[in-house]
Structure 1
Amino acid sequence: MVPVDFRHASATDYPSITSLHVRVSSEAYAGMLPSDYLAKVMPGEKAKLWERRLAPPVDFQKLAITLAEVRSDLVGFACCVLDEETHFGTYLHNLYVDRSFQGNRLGPRLLIESISRFSEERREMPVHLLTIRENYQARGLYDRLNGHVVEQKQNVMSRYPDVTFVRYQWPSARVMASNASTLCTP
């Protein structure tokens, strides 16, 4: 397994997180989302998202952002939004791993590391996420993590066709981390 360092994100990580988010999204969603959106609209949306999230001071009462680095290079990140759609639990809004590190159990390791930083109370709360229905690579991971599809919904993107999302949910962050640890066992 590749030696990986995990740490909390800070305001200075804005450019590297944005770059990785745009690059991985462009690869992952090719053929699922319109190419002009991926090339022209999405980069600006992600830049604004991370600029807003990481504007000093970062509010760690609302966000839990864990970075994975190899030799000081960002290779993955997980972002949990702690105050959004709370009726479903903690919202795992982002789990992104650089393509060259996919298949090395880095996604599950990021989840374990992120959840280990939660309070005891938050570890007992459900966790949920949304993904594009046709994102079979990500859905394969969520299925292996024993997530349950609890909802499908249409999201109308301006000027683009409807996209169907599925919501996965786990009964608790503790259960999700336990399931992730079984995927990390060789």
Structure 2
Amino acid sequence: MVSVNFRQAFATDHASITDLHVRVSSEAYADMLPQDYLANVMPGEKAKLWQRRLAPSVNPERLVITLAEVHSGLAGFACFVLDEETNFGTYLHNLYVDRSFQGKRLGLRLLIESISRFSEERWEEPVHLLTMRENYPARGFYDRLNGHVVEQKQNVMSRYPDVTFVRYQWPSARAMAANASNLGIPLREEDGR
């Protein structure tokens, strides 16, 4: 098994995060979003997003960004946004794993590593995310994690109103981490809280 190092993201990571985000999105959404958007618009949007998120002026208390690195570089990342759409709980905005590491439980490990960085209070708050309704591989992953679909919505991407998103929610970060653990990724003792 390949050795994986999990760590917090820094400003110097924005290019590698952007590259992985664009590459995995282009593959995953090839049949869901217009090719022009994926090839010509999305790369610039994601570059700006990660420069903004990793800027020195950003309050580190509003984001938990965890990277999974292997000897060859970035294998995946997770980003929880702590102050967005809080009426549903803590927002898992991004979970991306390089294709060569998909199906190897790296996504589960990223979730557990990220949640382990939460404050005690946040462990008890709900967790939610949005994914495209037709993104069946991601939905299968979230279904196996016992996420519940609590909402469907359109127009999240105003340029493409025919895209429908579903919102998954878990009763707490603790429940999400326990579900990941039940799928074969043990919680460290200090993560059991």
Q: How far is the alpha carbon of 1:58 from its aligned partner?
A: 3.9
Work out the CA distance in 2 between the residues paired with 1:144 and 1:9.
27
**CA shift digits 1:98-124 (9 cap, x unpaired):** 000001000000000000110110011
SS of the counterpart of 2:155? strand
Does the CA contact (< 8 Å) of 1:10 and 1:58 recur in 2? Answer: no
Q: What is the CA distance between 1:59 and its match in structure 2?
A: 2.0
Alignment of 1:87 with 2:102, yes or no, is no
Aligned amino acid, residue 27 of structure 1 = E
* Letter of the structure 2 residue corresponding to residue 82 of structure 1: L
Distance 1:156 1:148 in 2: 19
> What per-residue deviation string (whole Å, max 9, x for no partner) do you get for residues 115-154 of structure 1?
0110110011000000000000000000000000000000
TM-score (norm 1): 0.96
Count of aligned pairs: 186
- Counterpart position of 1:132: 132
Alpha-carbon separation, structure 2, partners of 1:35 and 1:154: 20
Displacement after TM superposition at 1:160 (Å) = 3.1
**Root mean square deviation, CA, Å:** 1.4
Secondary structure at the counterpart of residue 151 of structure 2:
strand
Counterpart-to-counterpart distance in 1, 2:121 and 2:92 = 16
Cα deviation for residue 157 of structure 1 reads 3.4
Amino acid at match of 2:26: S
Range that drifts further, 93-102 or 71-80: 71-80
The match for 2:172 is 172
**Contiguous gaps of at least 5 residues in structure 2:** 187-193
Distance apart, 1:161 and its partner CA = 4.2
Please name the residue that 2:104 is paired with: 104
Runs ≥4 residues deviating over 4 A: none
Between the aligned residues of both structures, percent identity stands at 82
Tell me, yes or no, if the aligned pair for 1:109 and 1:184 is still in contact at 8 Å: no
Match of 1:36 in 2: 36
Q: Specify the SS of the correspondent of 2:60.
A: coil
Aligned to 2:190: none
* 1:5 equivalent in structure 2: 5
Provide TM-score, normalisation by structure 2: 0.93
Which runs of 5 or more residues in structure 1 are unaligned? none
Structure 1 pair 6–86 and aligned structure 2 pair: CA distance change class (3 A): same
Displacement of 1:182 after TM fit?
Answer: 1.5
Q: Secondary structure at the match of 1:162?
A: coil
